Structure formats: structure tokens, C-alpha cells
Amino acid sequence: MLLRMQFTVSARGKQAAVPIQQFIKKNYAEIPVEQIDSFFGFTEPCTLYGGRFFSSTELSRYDVRSLYELNINLRLPLTNHYVTAHEYEGNAEFLDKYHRKGNSLIITNDDLAGWIRIDFPEYKLEASVIKNVNTLEKVADAFRIYDTVILPMASNDDEAFLNAIENKKNITLFANAGCAYTCPSKICYPSISKANKTGDAKLFRCSQKIKERNTIGMYDFDLDYLQSLGFERFKLLRPRKGDMTGY
């Protein structure tokens, strides 16, 4: 593994009372700290979150300060599908609190990305995996709005597609995969967006309950191979208990 490989790593499921240094030592000891570009997870409540249901703070104020001291950035998953201008304005204080060079936002809604680009220019904006950017045309469209783009897990298997991408240094690939790797519909994402608006976890939906599919559990990709194709940025999940999917 070459030093220039950089990771954004998951704080999903972390308890706020657990210091981030202890969390890193337990969950990511195999990764040199200088190769951790950022941690992503929930700080305080925010209706712009998506991807996972917000139940509690994962990265405390102490954690955020500690990350900065370690030269690790904060990446906030503002991947909710549904955002109004009024709601955006109501979250201005939240966005201002973490607005600093190096920090980034993972975004699904293009309107939200546009508003933030104007009002909070220090943030790097990353197109969420939820946008399913899986063609060269979609990659080009995404780069008109976003600084970096996360490709779907399954794209790691498409060597022709990966080789054809020109701006590889601003592409993020998954280092490992959970249940989304084999999911054909991913209805969980819009359902979680709705749940995070209301706080009602009962709104969550999963396609596994509708149609059985093959699940292979957590899967590690060959990062040396992906790096040999020219990619340097990787997103690393933390396995959930049972090893069927990741945080």
C-alpha cells in the first residue's frame, strides 16, 4: 500500500462518549493516521442527514477538535434527498460551525450543493454514492457541480469504466462493501431521508424484505489493483455486528 492512498473512514455507530483516538486505535489501527483524510459521521442533529438514520451524536465536539489536531478533516453526510430553500436557511448556523478549509460535505441534492457553494465556499463538495454515478456522462455531469465524486460499490468491478475516467484523483472508490454492493433497488436511501425529517425510524424500508437477493456480507476490494488503475481516494466502512453490512 503506497503512502499517497488516502481514506475517508466511517464513524458510523460510534458512541459519542468514546474518544476518537480510542476509536481509531480499535477500528482502524492498520491505517497510518497520515493516510486518513477525513472521518464521516453525525455531529449534532440536522435534518439534512441521509444515508443512515440519525439516532445520536457520533462525533462529539471533543472528537472534532481532536481530529483537527491530528490533521484529519470532518466529512458530513448531508445526503438527504429532500431539501427546501427554507430548510437550508434554517441550517445555516449548523453549516457555519464546521465551515473550514479541508472539511467536506457529502451531498445528494444538487440544489443544496449549489446553495452551499455560494454561501460556504470553503467546504469541498462530494457527490454521494446515492446519486449512482455509474456512467461517463454521469461523471461529467457530477463534476460540473461537485469537487469529488463517490462511485457505487459495483463500479469497482467495471475495469473498462474505471479506465475511461479521466479525473481519477477526484474520484472516491469504496475500499470495502456492504449490502448495497448487491442491492438492485436501494429503497433504503429515500426512506431514510424521510425518516430523518420526522425522527420516525418506522419509515425505514429495505428491499431485502420485498425480494430476497444474494448477500455476501462485508467484502474487501483489492486496493493495490484499484490504485494501479490510478485511483487514490477510498471510502472505508466499519463492519456491523454479524458482518453482513457496514456502518
**pLDDT band at residue 177 under the 50/70/90 scheme:** confident
Residue 103 pLDDT level (bands cut at 50, 70, 90): very high
At residue 243, does pLDDT exceed 60? no
pLDDT score of 205 more than 90: no
Mean pLDDT of 95-108: 97
User: How confident is the prediction for the chain on average, in pLDDT?
Assistant: 88
Cell 490510478, located at residue: 230
Question: Is pLDDT above 70 for 240?
Answer: no
Nine cell digits for residue 105: 460535505
Residue with C-alpha cell 424500508? 205
**Which percentage of the chain shows pLDDT scores above 90?**
70
240: Cβ–Cβ under 8 A, 6 or more apart, which residues?
A: 13, 178, 246, 247
Residues 176, 180, 184: CA angle, nearest 5 degrees: 140
3-state secondary structure of 156: helix
User: pLDDT tens, 1-22?
Assistant: 445 899 999 998 899 999 999 9
For each of the domains in the chain, give its residue range(s) and CATH number, in order of start: 6-181+217-236 (3.20.20.80)
Q: Are 204 and 188 in contact (CB under 8 A)?
A: yes
Place of cell 479521466: 166
Residue 184 in grid coordinates: 438492485
pLDDT band for position 210 (cuts 50, 70, 90): low
What's residue 241's pLDDT? 62
Phi, psi (rounded to 5 degrees) for 86: -65, -45
* Secondary-structure percent of the chain, ordered helix, strand, coil, rounded to 5: 40, 15, 45
Longest dimension (CA), the chain: 46
pLDDT greater at residue 41 or residue 55: 41
pLDDT of residue 157 exceeding 80: yes
- Distance, CA of 170 to CA of 50 (rounded, Å): 22
Q: Given its phi and psi angles, is residue 224 left (phi above 0), alpha (psi -120 to 50 degrees) or beta? A: alpha
Over residues 124-134, the mean pLDDT reads 95
Identify which has the larger pLDDT, 184 or 70.
Answer: 70
Intra-chain end-to-end CA distance of the chain, in Å: 24
How far is the C-alpha of 236 from the C-alpha of 189, rounded, in Å?
19
Q: Which amino acid is at 48?
A: L
Residue 104 pairs in a beta bridge with 75, 124
172 in Cβ contact with 127 (< 8 Å): no
The pLDDT value recorded for residue 209 is: 62
